[in-house]
Structures are given as structure tokens and as C-alpha cells.
Amino acid sequence: MINYFKESFRRKQARRYTREYPATVNNYELEKDGTVRFANWDNPLVPEIKINQAAVDFYRKYISKGDMVIDIGTNIGDTTVPMALAAGSGGLTIGFDPNPVVFKILEINASLNREKTNIVPYRYAITTRQEEFYFISSEASFSNGAISQTRESNHGRFIYPEKVRGVNLMEFLNENHASWLPRLSFIKVDAEGYDKEIIKSISPLIEKYRPVLVTESFGDSPAGEKHELYDVIHRNRYRIFYFSDFDVEAGTTELKSRDDILRWKETVNLVSIPE
């Protein structure tokens, strides 16, 4: 009971007062990949991430050794690391996250497992054009949040003191990783309801290289926005599937029409396969 009240107090503090929380590096033993090191964030609002073989094998259904893969909205790297294990040290895993606080933990995770992964992190948002934004969170510890063009946002009242940069992904990759683009096989997007806007901004990249896409249908989005997410993916000639978890054994359901995306009221994951 005492521990419960201590943790409850720590969570309240994290929501109300800005402070920096360190990382703890944990070792996870995977059946196929051996020891994988992962830096967990000691923020009391963030649960421990446990890297497991089923998640790595989920990505291996779509990613081969030596591929280029992109994680947009990496947070601390809980999806980035399994993606990078699938692509291997001979591949390239690029992670983007505009949150300046979680990015520090992502950088640690990018530095671990070098013999098995090749992760390059960038503290940028993916936008239509290059510009700067406020980063705003509902929590003082910035465990979540989103970009905003103004200081007024429904994402919360805590504003990071420095602006963050947005970049156009196609332009950025052509400038910095052009030789890798023919090996682009997979893009994951997790942008707190802005997935459809990011898909729109990277449509030329999708049309040219035809990567597998993983996106979220955000639970709080209205029906019209969910329809739009379906449409922007489908018009690029993709088959869209709901999947229940990042697990190689997870069940999938194909969305045959735009109304099928309305079946789920909660936030759900979608994987889209090029036709």
C-alpha cells in the first residue's frame, strides 16, 4: 500500500512539474536475437518496455536484412529497436521524433546493440515543408505531446521552451540518404491522430518506392478523419488490414471499404500492403 501511494505521488509530480528523468538500460534475452539492450525511461508515467521476439518477428514479415526502414513518431524507440533488429546492422533504420525530452532516451537506444542494428535518430517532425513549431504536452514531464503552429493547442498547456523543426521527408531523404532509397521497404507512422497528414506529405515517396505502411487509426478522431486516413492510403493502391498487436501471431482483418475503419472506437493499428 505504501508503494502504491509513493507511485501515485510520483505520477502526480510528473504531470505537474517539469524535471528530467534518467534512463535505465535493461537486458532482454530473445530466443533468436540473443541479448538485446534497451534504455527504459524512468518517468513514472511511462511503463517499462520489454523487447520480445514476437515483436521482432512481426517486423520480419515485412523487413529483410539490409533494408532501409523509417519510424515516424519513435518516442523512446520501443518500435524502432525491433524494426532495426529486423533490418540488421547492414540495413538502415531512421527514427524521427520532435519531442525534445523523449529524444534523449531515443539517442541512448540508437547507441546500443550496434553489432545488431543501425539506427540513425533525428529530432524532427515530418511536415509538408520545412518550418518550426511549438512542442506542447498535457504533462509537465513531456511524456506525450504534439507540434503546434501556435502556443494555443488542445494537446495541453505545457510548452517546451525551444521550437522544434519540421522537415519534408522526401526532400530530407534525397539530401541525406539518397543511396538508400531503393532499399526502402517499410514506414511506420504514429503521430497522435496526424497520421493521415503525414501520409499525404510523403505520398510521392510511397508512390515511387511502395513500402509497407503501419499507421494508427486514432480513437478520438471523428469519422470523417478516419475515412480520410483510409482514403489517402487506399488511393495509393494499398490493401489495408487491422492487426491486433505487434506480434507475429497477431490476427488481422482486411478493411474492404472506408466504412470498415469505423468498426473500432478505440485507437487501432493498421498495416497496408502495396497491391
The domains of the chain are located at 2-274
Measure the CA–CA gap between 117 and 89, rounded to whole angstroms.
4
Measure the CA–CA gap between 213 and 272, rounded to whole angstroms.
5
pLDDT given for residue 1 in this prediction = 58
Could you give the 3-state DSSP secondary structure of residue 94?
strand
pLDDT given for residue 192 in this prediction = 75
pLDDT given for residue 4 in this prediction = 61
Helix axes 80-87, 100-111, angle to 10 degrees: 30
Measure the CA–CA gap between 153 and 131, rounded to whole angstroms.
18
pLDDT given for residue 7 in this prediction = 75
Measure the CA–CA gap between 60 and 105, rounded to whole angstroms.
25
> Which has the closest alpha carbon to 36: 22, 59, 56, 21?
56
Question: Which residue ranges in the chain fall short of pLDDT 50?
Answer: none
Residue whose C-alpha cell is 529486423: 86
What lies within 8 Å, CB to CB, of 82 at 6+ separation is: 51, 55, 56, 58, 59, 246
pLDDT given for residue 128 in this prediction = 86
pLDDT given for residue 121 in this prediction = 98
pLDDT given for residue 220 in this prediction = 84
**pTM recorded for the entire structure:** 0.94
pLDDT given for residue 228 in this prediction = 95
Measure the CA–CA gap between 161 and 106, rounded to whole angstroms.
20
Measure the CA–CA gap between 60 and 99, rounded to whole angstroms.
28
pLDDT given for residue 11 in this prediction = 83
Output the DSSP codes for 225-256: HHHHHHHHHHTTSEEEEEESSSSTT--EEEE-
CATH number assigned to the domain covering 2-274: 3.40.50.150
pLDDT given for residue 145 in this prediction = 86
* Polymer length in residues for the chain: 275
All three cell numbers of 47: 511503463
pLDDT given for residue 102 in this prediction = 95
Measure the CA–CA gap between 135 and 146, rounded to whole angstroms.
6
Helix axes 80-87, 53-60, angle to 10 degrees: 60
Nearest 5°: the CA angle 218, 54, 275 is 60
Could you give the 3-state DSSP secondary structure of residue 171?
helix
pLDDT given for residue 2 in this prediction = 59
All three cell numbers of 98: 520532435
